[in-house]
């Protein structure tokens, strides 16, 4: 039985999250080290701060990587649906690849909506997927800044999107729900192999 590409990718992302937070590392484990009062004064506080900073940085990298992969799965599945629409209409591999290459996500939504007479925003999971895309783009282009400001004394400070593992798991579930509801031809595992002819392979015909 064919396996849907996105199902396999989502399972891999879930596995990545689980394994990433089960890592056994001496530097990270030093966060839980017990110090005597003398050790804490001499080097313990500084060592603990370094380990805590390292752990938070590591967690952020894992969560951002997982979100980026989720966003990549969504975008690729959307493009595959449109690719299948274009392939039926235009036939030529070159033609539909060229027509698709510069489409924005909004244009891709409109193509799918016209073809299947649906409203993408009405599909289950859509709102969460859109929220996830904003977070991913914020970290990709602007170090996670959200564009929202919070008053602080006499100034306003721009807030960053805060990430945690439960948020990522919730987004993963929303992506799965959204992609299951998305209409159109779906990519099967191993189906997206790209090929082109080789001119005179291995000296053939010489």
Over range 135-147, report the average pLDDT.
Answer: 93
Evaluate if residue 26 carries a pLDDT over 80.
no
Q: For residue range 188-200, what is the model confidence (pLDDT) as tens digits?
A: 766 666 656 677 6
Which residues make beta-bridge pairs with 156?
151
Given a contact cutoff of 8 angstroms between Cβ atoms, the answer to whether 21 and 205 are in contact is: no
pLDDT category at 1 given cuts 50, 70, 90 is: very low
CA pair distance 87, 77, nearest whole angstrom? 15
pLDDT of residue 67: 97
Q: For residue range 155-185, what is the model confidence (pLDDT) as tens digits?
A: 999 999 999 999 999 999 999 999 999 998 7
Residue ranges of the alpha helices (H) in 35-146?
A: 37-39, 45-90, 93-101, 105-116, 126-142
Helices and strands counted in the chain (H then E): 8, 2
pLDDT category at 122 given cuts 50, 70, 90 is: very high
Over range 135-146, report the average pLDDT.
Answer: 93
Q: Which pair of tokens denotes residue 198?
A: 């080789």
To the question of pTM greater than 0.85 for the whole model, the response is: no
CA pair distance 83, 70, nearest whole angstrom? 20
Over range 8-36, report the average pLDDT.
Answer: 81
Per-domain residue ranges of the chain: 5-192
pLDDT of residue 103: 83
Given a contact cutoff of 8 angstroms between Cβ atoms, the answer to whether 60 and 39 are in contact is: no
């Amino acid at each position: 039985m064919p396996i849907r590409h996105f199902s396999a990718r989502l399972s891999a992302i879930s596995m990545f999250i689980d394994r990433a937070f089960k890592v056994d590392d001496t530097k990270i484990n030093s966060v839980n080290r017990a110090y005597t009062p003398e050790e804490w004064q001499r080097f313990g506080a500084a060592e603990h701060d370094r380990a805590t900073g390292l752990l938070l940085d590591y967690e952020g990298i894992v969560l951002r990587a997982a979100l980026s992969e989720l966003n990549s799965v969504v975008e690729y599945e959307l493009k595959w649906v449109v690719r299948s629409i274009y392939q039926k209409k235009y036939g030529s591999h070159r033609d539909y690849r060229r027509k698709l290459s510069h489409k924005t996500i909004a244009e891709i939504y409109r193509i799918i909506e016209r073809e299947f007479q649906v409203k993408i925003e009405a599909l289950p999971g859509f709102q969460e997927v859109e929220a996830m895309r904003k977070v991913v783009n914020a970290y990709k282009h602007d170090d996670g800044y959200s564009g929202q400001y919070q008053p602080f004394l006499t100034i306003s400070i721009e807030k960053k999107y805060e990430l945690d593992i439960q948020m990522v798991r919730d987004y993963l579930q929303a992506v799965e729900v959204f992609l299951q509801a998305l209409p159109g031809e779906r990519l099967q595992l191993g189906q997206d192999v790209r090929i082109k002819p080789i001119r005179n392979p291995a000296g053939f015909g010489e």
